[in-house]
Amino acid sequence: MTATALPAPRSGVEATRPATAGRAPRSENRAGWLFATPFLALYLAFLIGPVVIGLVISLFNTTTVRAGVGSWVGLSNYADVLTNADFWASMWHSALFTLLTTPILVLLPLLFAVLVSRMSRNQWFFRLAFFAPYVVPSAAVCLIFAFMYTPETGLITNAFGWFGLTAPDFFGSTSGAWFAVVLLTVWWTFGFNFILYTAALQEISEEVYEAATLDGAGPWQQIRMITIPLLRPTIGLVLILQVLSSLKVFDQIYILLTGGPNYTTRPVIQYIFDTGFSAYRGGYAAAATMVYFVVLVVVSVAWFLVRRRSNSADA
Amino acid sequence: MTGLSRRQFLAAGGGLSVAAALSACASPIATSFSGGQPRTADVIFWHLFGGGDGENMATMLETFRESSGLSVESSLLSWGNPFYTKLALSTSSGRPPDVTVAHLSRVPLLAQAGLLEPVADQFAAAGITEDEFTPAAWEKATVDGTTYAVPLDTHPFVLYYNTALAEQAGLLDETGENLKPMRNSDDFVAALQTMKDSTGNEYAAVASITVDPSTCWRLFLMTYSGLAGPIVEDLGTRVTIDRAAMEESFAFLQGLTGERGLMPRTATATTSSTLFSNGEVGFLFDGVWQIPTYRDVEGLDFNVVPFPALLGPEPVAYADSHALVVPASPGRPAERTENAVRFVRGLLDQSSTWADGGHVPAWLPVQESEEFLALEPQSNYTEAAFDAVYDPPGWYTGAGSDFQTAMGSVVASVLTGATDPAGGVDALTSSLQTFSTARPPV
């Protein structure tokens, strides 16, 4: 399903175009660039520029206590990063967070989206209710949850007591801290994936279901044989978006736990922040960022290759 | 349609706002482009004090404004890890404040990086000289023979005790107010044991151990410094741990929370303030800045004293100091520097207002004044400022640093019993290795 596979239709609309079909006239081209200029300027200033600067200072002993890039150190920042146990520990924490949250955040919204789509009325209410938390800023979410996780007096801590359970130590123990941050993240970001699924579900034509009903397929069969296969591209999209956003985790863990207890939940972005900002080591932190960037690129490319293969297998 | 087209209107509006932004040379927007320091007041001052300290500072600023006639623009920056990053970045990019508060434990790096103006002749001319300050604080403000900061206070880690419980335990001397003298760790442990036995409480003392690495670190460094010198040297690049002394310190501290059962193994800041406020423990180990917290607790009668000598022959107080520094700014006119010096002197003169927050004034004319000597309990622990041990000089050490978190976390695991003393020494050494082998920023 790629654009190149389509033969150029010789319809009436196309025929009225100038001879070089598919290519915009020069004036239109220039206008296009002009319209894109504000975006390109910002993109250069705030994305490409910083990446290039980051790449350069990762080769220098740049610090935040001195002006300029500092002394040339070659690749030694990279060598230091790659052999630093704290860096790899924080990489693992980001990966662990991804492993903990991705399955829940891919499957649970799918389940709820399918269920909601089968309701005959008041769907808007559920869409609103599920999506609303997503628009709350991370700082507000974290402060509210910190309040509820407070030992002795917090709502969630007490809720464990209602079922005769003892609440884990949400701030003092590693497992409790992970539980706290995963629960918060699921509640907070659930709605985004839910909306993606809901949009995809609306794309599926009613006629397919009608035909299935006529053929005698029950609701469960319809979900299994029609809804899920037709949602597959969306599930793939949600999966990769979720993996990438989980790997980028920072806000929740930083605000709720500051990476504690004893750095056992510190994600790699906080490690970069800590070394670059608190410990003044800009060059080293830039090198760590580049290593992390490469990992993200590898994940994205791997996903792209897997998808391309599965698409060509479908064809 | 005649008159202004929409385009002309927008262009005119945009032009006007740019012109307005650039018109006044003194405006911060203009100086941010030209690279100069904004000139919005005679003295631009940064500090990091919220709460009661913030109120005291506001009073001092107001008094200074009235008496000097100078305008002071004061900015409260949130305290925590990035404070020194903001200070360093603003200074290295040429737009620092005229005067800022800094912890003395953070001065070595700032000084090495050339971000601070030395406390030189202009200060001496204003009467700000070495002999007017607590020696330990002045010494800490001095790096390689040059003084870079004017100490405002010393805030040591001290021993709080509940006067009523201490009396019940027979720990008070004939004044009925002060503890009987303790000479070493045996006396200290005996006093805690007596407190526990006579009151029938579960514990004798409390310190905030859980999720509070800084407190753990203060408690540990105080104990260890009775026996040995700094744990790192050469601005943090050489580890100089005395393993035997460290193991002995760990064993002593673990004894308090462990086998002797004199202190709880897990206690957050809330736990410790609850226990001490309710009289469920007789002693609290904490910093003097907590005094305002307990001053208003009804029915709590307490006093604050320096820790006695524990493992070593002499008493040691872990401490830090707030200091006033003038960040280096090549383009600062002499007149502004003069104002800055006047401002520093003005704050020093009001040290007794500052002492309300529990801090010991570093400025001897106030520290030795009748007014301060009458202040209770602040005047009881003045010696702690003289016995002060600070964080070892290093590029990564100091108040609010990752170093304190890392070290304190090891100490916490020893205090809770999760790590034995020898294991604690190993863990601390290997953690220190990461810091000492990293490439220093200066």
CA distance B27 to B33: 10
Q: What's this model's pTM, rounded to 2 decimal places? A: 0.82
Q: Is residue A51 part of a domain?
A: no
Supply the pLDDT for residue A5: 42
In the structure, what pLDDT confidence band is assigned to residue B33 with cuts at 50, 70 and 90?
low
Supply the pLDDT for residue A21: 52
**Contact call for residues B330 and B182 (beta carbons, < 8 A):** no
CA distance A108 to A197: 11
Supply the pLDDT for residue B214: 94
Which chain A residues in 182-221 lie under 8 Å from chain B, judged by CB atoms? none
Which tokens sit at B104? Answer: 């003395």
**Contact call for residues B249 and B216 (beta carbons, < 8 A):** no
- Please report residues of B whose CB lies closer than 8 A to that of A151: 268, 270
Looking at chain A, which residue has its C-alpha nearest residue B403? A279
Which tokens sit at A22? Answer: 């598919």
Q: Is residue A76 part of a domain?
A: no
ipTM passes above 0.85:
no
Looking at chain B, which residue has its C-alpha nearest residue A260? B211
pLDDT > 70 in chain B, percent: 92
B315–chain A nearest CA distance, Å? 30
CA distance A58 to A285: 7
Torsion of CA B224, B227, B232, B235, to 10 degrees: 100
CA distance A222 to A203: 15
pLDDT at B418 over 50: yes
Supply the pLDDT for residue B224: 97
Quick: pLDDT tens for A97-146: 999 999 999 999 999 999 998 888 888 999 999 999 999 999 999 999 98
Query: Strand B99-103 to strand B322-325: parallel, antiparallel, or no bridges (unpaired)?
Result: antiparallel
CATH of the domain at A181: 1.10.3720.10
Cis amide linkage into residue B377, ω under 30° from 0 = yes
Q: Which helix or strand (DSSP H or E) is residue B295 part of?
A: helix B291-295
- Please report residues of B whose CB lies closer than 8 A to that of A86: 434
End-to-end CA distance of chain B: 66
Q: Is residue A7 part of a domain?
A: no
Which of A279, A271, A278 shows the shortest CA–CA distance to B438?
A279
Pick the residue with more confidence: B240 or B3?
B240
Domain hosting A201: range is 92-276
Distances (CA, A) of B131 to A135, B137, B392: 59, 11, 24
Which chain B residues in 142-181 lie under 8 Å from chain A, judged by CB atoms? none
Which residues are CB-neighbours of B227 under 8 A, at least 6 positions away? B242, B245, B248, B249, B311, B312
Q: Is residue A299 part of a domain?
A: no
Q: Is B82 within 8 Å of A278 when comparing Cβ atoms?
A: yes
- Please report residues of A whose CB lies closer than 8 A to that of B82: 277-278
A219–chain B nearest CA distance, Å? 52
Query: What domains lie within chain B, and their CATH numbers?
Result: 39-152+321-373 (3.40.190.10), 161-319+401-437 (3.40.190.10)
- Please report residues of B whose CB lies closer than 8 A to that of A172: 210-211, 266, 268
The CB density around residue B21, as the number of other CB atoms within 10 Å, is: 14
Pick the residue with more confidence: B30 or A252?
A252
Supply the pLDDT for residue B13: 62
B92–chain A nearest CA distance, Å? 5
**Contact call for residues B114 and B108 (beta carbons, < 8 A):** no
Q: Is residue A190 part of a domain?
A: yes
Interchain contact B109–A (C-beta under 8 A): yes
The amino acid at B150 = V
CA distance A250 to A259: 9
Supply the pLDDT for residue A12: 45
Residue B172 is classified by DSSP as B
C-alpha gyration radius of chain A: 25
Distances (CA, A) of B69 to B41, B43, B334: 12, 11, 18
Domain count, chain A: 1
Residue B26 is classified by DSSP as T
pLDDT > 90 in chain B, percent: 76
- Please report residues of B whose CB lies closer than 8 A to that of A61: 439, 441
Of A73, A80, A274, the CB nearest to B402: A274
Q: Is residue A96 part of a domain?
A: yes
Supply the pLDDT for residue A66: 84
Supply the pLDDT for residue B12: 66
Mean pLDDT of chain B: 90
Quick: pLDDT tens for B224-240: 999 999 999 999 999 99
In the structure, what pLDDT confidence band is assigned to residue B31 with cuts at 50, 70 and 90?
low
CA distance A287 to A75: 9
Interchain contact A82–B (C-beta under 8 A): no
What are B11's strand-pairing partners?
A: none
Which tokens sit at B72? Answer: 């002071």
Cβ pairs bridging A and B (under 8 Å): 78
Of B92, B115, B210, the CB nearest to A172: B210
pLDDT at B122 over 80: yes
Please give the angle made by the CA atoms of A280, A267 and B435, to the nearest 5 degrees. Answer: 40
Give the mean pLDDT of B27-40.
63
In the structure, what pLDDT confidence band is assigned to residue A11 with cuts at 50, 70 and 90?
very low
Which of B156, B242, B169 shows the shortest CA–CA distance to B199?
B169
Quick: pLDDT tens for A168-220: 888 878 899 999 999 999 999 999 999 999 999 999 988 999 999 999 988 88
Q: Is residue A32 part of a domain?
A: no
Which of B204, B230, B218 shows the shortest CA–CA distance to B157?
B218
Instruction: Assign residue A18 a region (left: φ > 0; alpha: ψ between -120 and 50; beta: otherwise).
Output: beta
The CB density around residue B375, as the number of other CB atoms within 10 Å, is: 15
Q: Is residue A153 part of a domain?
A: yes
Give chain B's length: 442
- Please report residues of B whose CB lies closer than 8 A to that of A67: 92-94
Report the SS3 class of residue B99.
strand
What are B283's strand-pairing partners?
A: B161, B205
